[in-house]
Copies of this chain bind each other. A is one copy, B any other.
Amino acid sequence: MTNIAVIGLGSMGYGMASSCLRAGHQVWGVDLNTAAVDRFVSAGGQSAALPGDLHAVSVVVLNAPQTEAVLFGDDGVVAKLTPGAVVLGHATVPPAFARDMAARCAAVGVHYLDAPISGGAAKAASGELSIMASGTAEAFAAAQPVLDATAATVFELGDAAGAGSAMKAVNQLLAGVHIAAMAEALTFGMTQGVAPDKFVEVISKCAGTSWMLENRAPHIVAGDYTPLSQVNIWPKDLGIVLDIARDAKFSAPITAAAMQQFLAAAGMGLGGEDDAAVAKVYARNAGLALPGED
């Protein structure tokens, strides 16, 4: 039984905190959203001031600036930790940022595991995430109780922070491109008389399929844009990819094209919808009515 804090009780963080509780740990939940904290306390979590003997802190916030604020800002958590504790950085961030966080934690004797997550809210809740992790052996060892409670698969990507975030950026590049490409292909098919349900039925069994196509295209067929993963994720995550790529003088034309489609979706006011709503950009441009539309 270990003392763990989970900072950020959104759809991913709440599930991870619950998974840690279920594994028998003492878990503190922190979020600006008091309703999420109250719900977590009702489920058996703690919300009082963080104890002095925290063993692990999982940071499940939106991005790098939020991660830095949580760790090193006013009332930052690292100052409250004792040497030997571990911070797990779960947000999608640039690799260089993860290396910087690790160095600043190490300066005060705190381990840092670069640990971006993949799998969605349902797998967070069931403790079956995939985690792309890198860090020192000591960081992995200290983080083990959290990894055991939250992950079905831990990819161990090396002994230095940054490698985990690099792999996450690679994954997000493909995931974002595949969602937009699915939308492009589905709507292109509509112009040729291919019905969206037939598209899913056939292409999911052919060489043109992808994990994202099989996961997201049914949302379009159902006309259901309840946000399991929001459009707004992609200007953020593809933005990280394109920023890193620019710094590396790496030309990424397909990622850049997909980015424009997500930006157009956000510009149409669809940022809070499920990311399959990028299909509405194509439909509007081509004068098509998607399922559920008039």
Contacts and interface: CB of A to CB of B under 8 A. Distances in A.
Contacts of A252: 184, 188
Contacts of A213: 174, 210
B286 A171 contact: no
Q: How many copies does the complex hold?
A: 2
Contact of A180 (B120, B169, B180, B254): B254
Interface string A240-271: 01001100111111111110110000000000
Closest 7 CB pairs of A and B: A174-B208, A166-B192, A210-B210, A171-B208, A191-B248, A170-B189, A257-B257
B206 A209 contact: no
Contacts of A249: 286
B174 A177 contact: no
A212 B163 CA distance: 24
A57 B118 CA distance: 50
A173 B286 contact: no
A286 B181 contact: no
Tell me which of A95, A175, A188, A286 has the highest count of chain B C-beta atoms within 10 A of its own C-beta: A188
Nearest to A255: B184
Contact of A192 (B172, B209, B248, B260): B248
Contacts of A166: 189, 192-194
9 contacts: A118-B207, A167-B202, A169-B189, A170-B186, A171-B207, A173-B184, A184-B254, A191-B250, A210-B211
A145 B193 CA distance: 28
